[in-house]
Structure 1
């Protein structure tokens, strides 16, 4: 995801390394994640099925969206790739757009002590939607590129 737009920004690489640490990925798998090893279609389908089975698909997709926005932009190639991943993990289109809107809103927060009221409204509605729809989100899920904003938003979990 980090290099789907043709570039691997330092902010994207930093976020990827942060995710590897947060999820305690074993060293033997880190090389695969950080390398450009291609997976077979069967491996990809199996992985996405496992995400759905374990109710990790919303969290996974939100992590990818946040990673795509780590350089401050959601590039066209990233949008296409995210839509394709969304089709694989089978999240309804409207809910996919909720994830995108939430991530874009979180990315626009600079100072957590002075959040625009409309953004607070977006965040409140997002978490209400997630709870009502029984969407599983986890402490390890990234809600924002900024660690400060990420921690601020996690108080809603």
Structure 2
């Protein structure tokens, strides 16, 4: 009976050990496969992004080159067709318009500043006058009260004599 019990325990222990090793091996294999798959996916995405970026840059460069060539061709054609006097006149008009606009902005800004300063000055003067009037009135009232009080005391003293 003892032997059978020992054999049963050993059998159970070896089964548990084997099951544990199998689970551990399958888990490690699964993790390895997942990491390999994610690494491959990451590399593929990076390759795809860089390829798309390269293609986009090439497309953009060719488009810009085409646009520049078209612009240069039209510019050369305009210069060839347009007489110098007309070109100079157009440049002068543009310069004059910009100059007039700048002068207008400067004059308007200075005018606004002068108006603002004048408004602030009149406002400050009004406030000062109002403050001075109220201050003078308070002083006058205080003086009148003290004067009346002194006269009343003097009158009382004279009356008491």
**Do the structures match in fold with TM over 0.5?**
no
Structure with the greater alpha carbon radius of gyration: 2
Instruction: Provide TM-score, normalisation by structure 2.
Output: 0.15
Report the structure, 1 or 2, having the larger helix content.
2
Higher RCO, Cα 8 Å, sep 6+: 1
Instruction: Provide TM-score, normalisation by structure 1.
Output: 0.15
